[in-house]
Structure 1
Amino acid sequence: MRSWVTVGALALAATVVGPAVVHTTASAHAISAPTQVGAGKAGKVTPTPAPTPTPAPTPSTGTAPLVQGTLVETVAYGRHVRQRMDVWYQPDELKRPGVFLIHGGWWSSGDKKYMTEVSRSYAEQGYVVFNINYRLSGDASWPAPRTDTFGAIATARRHAARWSFDPNNYVVVGFSAGGHLATAVGTYKNGLPGLRGVVGISPVISPLTAYTEGIGTLDPNKRKLRDSAIKLAGGCEPTGKCARVWTSMEVPWHASRGDAPMLIVHSSDEFVSAEHSRQLKEHLQQVGVPVTVLTEQGVEHSAPLYRLPGVAEQVQQWVAEKLLSSGR
């Protein structure tokens, strides 16, 4: 099987627009019939317009990945109704790098459907995209959502050939609470096989920081984030018998030399403070893992932050550098 890197590289001009659902829904323990993105009547394929008029080809090949022929399957990676992921792929003989997307929502809400256009933007660049749902805090407490993320990744790697996916060349991108899961996966033990990078957009890296910053504040979002962290921990605060679960949730404390490089993006005045990224950067740098922190002016959080001019492009460029260098 040929490597995707040998025949093409990435177009890096996609931006994010509002969500639109294109996937099908699978029954439990099943893989749905593929949906062809941009398919018209009688099975004919019509190109889906890119978020920007013309993706720029890379200098190395002069060839931008094709949008036509992209399929979307909804896959069950576990028994729970939330243990589902949408897989965007092209059924060819290449081994393409992968991007795993994790939605936010206070660990208690949200859905992969809100990541549809982000999924589309990465699929248009030639990646295999895994847009995952996971059990929420109302379904199960920590570490259930992290366990689900591991389950989605393991399923993708196990069935890599089905989706033309290179199981040893992927990144994980998480938004807000999903950023907590992405960075938690990135710092688990001494690194996951094949994980080349982690991106957090407004990630709640330190639930303990969220807990502390939510005490006595007038900011309703900080108060809600504190309550959400308590709910994720099973309803208990970080003392006594609950200290162990809070320790497990605290991403910076699990930094190790084998962890993947990270890119973290915050707004300067959003309710998930840059203190989260400062702590993680300090711990990862102590063990020699590179961390890039970008700070944008303003209060935008999560997807609105990602939509700011230039942010998505910077993230996509960083992702491309990690996956292209690993795929050669």
Structure 2
Amino acid sequence: MVTPELPKFRTYAYGTDAAQKIDAYWRDKGAGAEARPVVLFLHGGYWLHGDKGGGWKYVARRLTEEGFVVLSANYRLAPRAHWPAQRDDALSALDFVRRHARLWNADPSRVAVMGSSAGGQLATQLGALGKGGRRVRGVVALSPPNNPFLAFKDGAKPGATATQRKLRRAVVDLLDCTPGAAPGPGTEPGAGTEAGTGDGGEPGTGTDCWPLVDDASTLTHVSRGDAPMLLMHGTGDFVPVAQSTGLAAALRAAGVKTTVKTVDGRLHASQLLTDPDTYPTIVSWLKSHLKK
């Protein structure tokens, strides 16, 4: 069996901060070759850690075999940088990709964004913020905590796992504040349910946190002009599957084409790729939404 040749690889700076780096993976098809569609990847890691390389570089290489140019971006992490710095960096990385697409013979009009876990939340933000459908052709998100406040609440429930408690603390680091009880008539931003003293909110703390809580929830930004999304989630994930099904319901209600694929078990983020249907589903969906 012949081993496929590795794609070309180069790291670029898309900003002045040390964290604002992006890796490009592409295959040189020669002069005159048709420009190829692009996938911008955003890593996970609780918004606190993670890297554009790691195991995802193998996924990037595989996607180049399918005809995509892949860009994998780092972004500023909490607690050194707070929300919305992470989303700002993702937007800047996307702008960099568009402006320099010719370097990789990529088509800047055919771009999708894909993210895992915290990176999935950033990916859905890019697809929903403003007229997200004008920004990207589609979004693929694996195990995204689309509403950080729900993750914050889950970490305070009796029986919360260590990872859920870690995610709760990460939300505080991300926002640089502790969400208190919901303001106003008692509705929590982006969640559509009542918030009170027993739901994980903390009365008397973080009342000025709510604009950030609201902004960090992708549900807040849902509108008819959003990009179509493929949301993938494990049924027993420590980030509850409701994070994806809830966003999907809001998107569909707004008239946005949305697909949810669930995988049985506690698989989270990259672990979803151990399911034999996950990768083919991603590739098929990307090809469908990035075709000319």
The verdict on a shared fold, with TM-score over 0.5 as the criterion, is yes
Any stretches of 5+ residues in structure 1 without a counterpart?
1-46, 51-66
Q: Which residue of 1 aligns with 2:189?
A: none
Encode CA deviations 1:184-206: one digit per residue, 9 max, x unaligned: 11111112535111011111111
**Aligned equivalents of 1:244, 1:150: Cα separation in 2:** 20
Change (3 A) 1:48 1:141: farther
Q: Which residue of 1 aligns with 2:83?
A: 142
Q: Which residue of 1 aligns with 2:57?
A: 116
SS at match of 1:85: strand
Q: Which residue of 2 aligns with 1:228?
A: 170
Map 1:186-197 onto structure 2 (within 5 A): 186-191=127-132, 193=134, 195-197=136-138
Instruction: Please say if residues 168 and 193 of structure 1, whose CA atoms lie closer than 8 Å, have aligned partners that are also in contact.
Output: no
With normalisation by structure 1, the TM-score equals: 0.77
Quote how far apart the aligned CAs of 1:212 are.
1.3
Change (3 A) 1:289 1:48: farther
**Aligned equivalents of 1:151, 1:172: Cα separation in 2:** 13
SS at match of 1:300: coil
**Aligned equivalents of 1:256, 1:283: Cα separation in 2:** 9
Encode CA deviations 1:78-120: one digit per residue, 9 max, x unaligned: 0111100101123444211001111110100111112210111
**Aligned equivalents of 2:150, 2:116: Cα separation in 1:** 17
**Aligned equivalents of 1:160, 1:251: Cα separation in 2:** 28
Instruction: Please say if residues 127 and 135 of structure 2, whose CA atoms lie closer than 8 Å, have aligned partners that are also in contact.
Output: no
Instruction: Please say if residues 126 and 135 of structure 2, whose CA atoms lie closer than 8 Å, have aligned partners that are also in contact.
Output: no
Q: Percent identity?
A: 35
Matched, 1:127 2:127: no
**Aligned equivalents of 1:236, 1:194: Cα separation in 2:** 32
Aligned-partner residue type, residue 153 of structure 2: T
Instruction: Please say if residues 189 and 254 of structure 1, whose CA atoms lie closer than 8 Å, have aligned partners that are also in contact.
Output: yes
Instruction: Please say if residues 175 and 302 of structure 1, whose CA atoms lie closer than 8 Å, have aligned partners that are also in contact.
Output: yes
SS at match of 1:193: helix
Encode CA deviations 1:263-309: one digit per residue, 9 max, x unaligned: 11111111011111122112111210011111111101111112222
**Aligned equivalents of 1:283, 1:136: Cα separation in 2:** 28
Matched, 1:88 2:25: yes
**Aligned equivalents of 1:197, 1:288: Cα separation in 2:** 14
Q: Which residue of 2 aligns with 1:154?
A: 95
Q: Which residue of 1 aligns with 2:196?
A: none
- Name the Cα RMSD after superposition: 1.6
With normalisation by structure 2, the TM-score equals: 0.86
Encode CA deviations 1:167-200: one digit per residue, 9 max, x unaligned: 1101111000110000011111112535111011
> Paired residues, what number?
262
